[in-house]
Amino acid sequence: VTGGSRGIGAAIARKLASKGADIAIVYSSDDNAASAVCEEIKKDFSVNCRFYRCDVSDFEEAKKTVAAIKNDFGSIYILVNNAGITRDGLSAMMSEEDFRRVIDVNLVGAFNMTRHCIAGFIRQRGGRIINITSISGLMGNAGQANYSASKAGLIGLTKAIARELAPRGITCNAIAPGFILTDMTKDLAQQDEIKSRIPLGSIGSAEDVASAAAYLVEASYVTGEVLRVDGGLAM
Ligand code: NDP
C-alpha cells in the first residue's frame, strides 16, 4: 500500500490486514508514522507488516522497493497505488514545477509501482491493482489543474492496464473518493458548504474508502472500473 503511513492508505492497510493479508507500507518521509501504523497492524491483526521508505515517482527507487518487498514477503498479490499529493493553485499562476511534481507522484508513481509488479503478477497468474484516483479526475476542480490531470490520467492508466492484464487473470480498478477527512483535507475552510453539496450529507471517512478497496480485492469479475466513494457528489 503506497502512502500507507497515514490517512486513506493507513485505513486500507488496516482493512486488508483485518482480512488476513500481510502488509508492506510504502511512504516517502515520515518514518515514525509508518513505524507506528505497522506496529498497530501487527498487534491488532497478527499479520506481518513492514515499512519501506521510497519516493514512488523515482523509477529506480520504486524498482528496488518492489524487489525488497518480494524478498521479504516472497510475493506480492495486491498493489494499492494510493500515494498522492496536492499543490493547489490557479492555472494562471501555477509553476511548471508544481504541475510536474503532482503528475510525477500521483500518476508516474502509480505507473512505476505497477510496472515493477507486473512480471510477478503474470508469473503467479493473478493479482489485484487498485488505484486511488479522485472525483477531481472525473469532474475537474478549479485550482487543481495539476491534481485533476494526474487523477484523470490515473483513470486512463487503470483502464489500459486492465485490458492488458485481463487475459492473465489480473484485475485493475480505481476508486474515486470525494471529500474524505484526512490530513490532506483537514484545513478545508468551507466544510459546511462542502457538506451541503453532498447528497448523503456528510464528509466521508478513510474507512469508507478502505471498504471499497477490500471489495475490489474480492471481486474477481470486475476490472477497469472506477468506483466512486463520494456520498453521491459526482453523480
Ligand atoms: P495524506 O496526505 O493523508 O497521506 C499521503 C500519503 O502518501 C502519506 O503516507 C505520504 O507519506 C505518502 N506519499 C506522499 N508522497 C509520496 C511519494 N512521493 N512517494 C511515496 N509516498 C508518498 O493523503 P490522503 O490519505 O488524504 O490521500 C490518499 C490518496 O487518496 C491520495 O492519492 C489522494 O489524492 C486521494 N484522495 C484523497 C481525498 C481526500 O479527501 N482526502 C479525496 C480523493 C482522493 P509521508 O507522510 O511519509 O510523506
**Cα–Cα distance, 35 to 148 (Å, whole number):** 31
The pLDDT confidence band at residue 186, using thresholds 50, 70 and 90, is: confident
Res 192: pLDDT: 85
Structure confidence at residue 189 as a pLDDT band (50, 70, 90):
low
User: Which of 1, 2, 6 for mutating ligand 1's site (highest number of atoms within 8 Å of CB)?
Assistant: 6
7-31 pLDDT, tens digit each: 999 999 999 999 999 999 999 999 9
Cα of 50 from ligand 1 centre, angstroms:
18
Q: How far, in Å, is the centroid of ligand 1 from the Cα of 7? A: 7
Determine the distance separating the centroid of ligand 1 and the alpha carbon of 182, expressed in angstroms: 9
DSSP 185-210: TTT-TTHHHHHHH-TT-S-B-HHHHH
Question: What is the distance between the alpha carbons of residues 4 and 71, in angstroms, rounded to a whole number?
Answer: 19
All cell numbers assigned to 120: 510477478
**Comparing C-alpha atoms, which of 176, 158, 182 is closest to residue 234?**
176
Q: Enumerate the active-site residues.
A: 147
Residue with cell 516517502: 28
What residue owns the CA closest to ligand 1's atom 27? Answer: 8
